[in-house]
Structure 1
């Protein structure tokens, strides 16, 4: 194992923040895994503890067929953001920006550098594109903030990976994945091993989240250079490891084993692994997800459990204003699965309270909320 540390730029005078990366194995094929980019989403960090322990053993046994990089705390800025004993790890205090938005979009930067250099050799094209991505990131202007420097470091390590897994969680949630539809065939076995209840697919969810910044350039380059053989060389996904409170030991061990089994499916680990179970979810368009909001302030009572299959008109939750007695019942607007709920129980303006994954697109434009 190699432990690599990077000092983030623009730390406050007299302080410094370090990003730690652990590298296991070696070889041309690579998997990159990071946890808790939203620093208050701790299940991924707990799963990373198990991954690190297992990868040390697998490396000592000579069972790694490639390089696996692991970043257990992908956000050393947000991990320290505490306000009145409450962790605030989703947005940077200084700028108000979401830590998982606005990653560098590489396609426009590298298209001019690739013109006339790509051919019909897919392997040679992949190697050239990955080198060019790394060069483009190195040639960007100096980071203007700690957050800019963090984004660049994470993407530099992920842009040459065959597999990118970004470990998150929702407030209260079933196990689910976000990915591009073109990558879903290669992710079905991961969804099956994780016993995911939902998979949400979109080519462009908006906001340049980390997984999209890694996967989308390959699709865009193939469209820009139709004469060249450019495969989708990076399968990237965001894994929502259930809810924020789901850090129990056994489920996190199971999730780590599922991820390692998937890496074995991809040829990065040798040895005997449990067979892939039947896939328990079918993917649905991210545009088909209903975000349900309250029409007024009040205390919230959920009327459906997580994972419930609902139909149009089924009640999701009720909101009651304790002063005016105003009562509202919020219903499902699509047939699907209730996959996430807000952890707060008092309705706030503009704050979604429940999400339902449906098959029929009902939204357009930017799909990711902040």
Structure 2
């Protein structure tokens, strides 16, 4: 194992933050898997899973069982981790700019398309090498001017040449679920089985340039942009990425961390990155559904929230998700499911104002368009 500390750009006098990565196996070996936790810095379950996964990787590395390369970043956001306001952690947005730490990553298709057009041929492996070299050159030329930009550059630089990229997050209160781009789903599907995902949300470019889509999106975008110039299959989906939501913010225990770490480690064995018998694949607990079919349950009135549906519960159209109670006027609003599917996430607060989100249901029929991600 090798530990590397990456100093971020110092944006203020006397202030310096560091990103730390752990490298297992042989640098440059294939396949390569990159995992990071808590890019939204107040989402801690991923950190716990990474803590337990590191122990498994150290043991495998010492036994020379790692055939490829694994890069683990257990604390992906030292900026957000240091932010608090009124004694509350503020890990989703940078306070200085209000930018979401998991948005605004580079559009790598736009960056490299002019560089690779006319240089790709019929050899898929050579085409992947050419595209990755173009991305590497783009990253080398990128000169960040802020601490946040330097964090984004470092995270992308560590991961852009990985075959699989896994970004560990959580929701407020949630069943284990994941997001991935549709072209990545065949590669990610075994992981969903091993983790026991209760919802899988698929999209092509969900909007906002999130970290995971920034690493996988340019592959299918380049293939589509160059479809008239290249034979079918000449530019494969060389990176499969996913955002894994490890339940809710309060689901931080050794038992859950160990369970998730074992599932991730089993996936590495399945990929052939780590030697060992491939794990027996359990049945997939859910069908993958389009992110555009997911209902955001909202309330038109303020009040006390009393949930009548549990996370992971399958709902029919018309089922009550929550009561919103106005104790002044003695009224109750029933927030109902408008799609059939699993309630995969809900808020943790129990008082809401009018227009606020209560939760999300994984519907199977697309109906939303535009930016599919929350702020």
Range of TM-score over shorter length: over 0.9
| Whole-angstrom CA distance in 2 between matches of 1:349 and 1:366 | 22
Q: CA deviation at 1:50?
A: 0.7
Q: What do you get for the CA RMSD once the two structures are aligned?
A: 1.1
SS in structure 2 of the partner of residue 90 of structure 1 = coil
The number of residue pairs the alignment matches comes to 369
In structure 2, what is the equivalent of residue 214 of structure 1? 215
| Whole-angstrom CA distance in 1 between matches of 2:15 and 2:336 | 50
SS in structure 1 of the partner of residue 78 of structure 2 = coil
Question: Structure 1 residue 241 and structure 2 residue 230: aligned?
Answer: no
Which consecutive unaligned segments of at least 5 residues does structure 2 have? Answer: none
Return the match for 1:360 from 358, 365, 373: 365
- For residues 1-370 of structure 1, what are the structure 2 equivalents within 5 Å? 1-26=1-26, 27-140=29-142, 142-226=143-227, 227-228=229-230, 229-370=234-375
Structure 1 range deviating more: 231-240 or 113-122: 113-122
1:85-123 CA deviation, whole Å, 9 max, x = no partner? 211100111001110001011111111111211101111
| TM superposition score normalised by structure 2 | 0.96
Q: CA deviation at 1:361?
A: 1.2
Q: CA deviation at 1:274?
A: 3.4
1:303-332 CA deviation, whole Å, 9 max, x = no partner? 111111111111100111222223211100
Q: CA deviation at 1:350?
A: 4.1
Q: CA deviation at 1:349?
A: 4.1
Mapped contact 1:31–1:69 kept (Cα < 8 A): yes
Mapped contact 1:290–1:362 kept (Cα < 8 A): no
| Whole-angstrom CA distance in 2 between matches of 1:350 and 1:121 | 52
Mapped contact 2:10–2:17 kept (Cα < 8 A): no
| Whole-angstrom CA distance in 2 between matches of 1:205 and 1:265 | 28
| Whole-angstrom CA distance in 2 between matches of 1:92 and 1:13 | 18
| Whole-angstrom CA distance in 1 between matches of 2:157 and 2:353 | 38
| Whole-angstrom CA distance in 2 between matches of 1:273 and 1:111 | 37
Structure 1 range deviating more: 179-188 or 286-295: 179-188
Structure 1 range deviating more: 33-42 or 47-56: 47-56
Which consecutive unaligned segments of at least 5 residues does structure 1 have? Answer: none
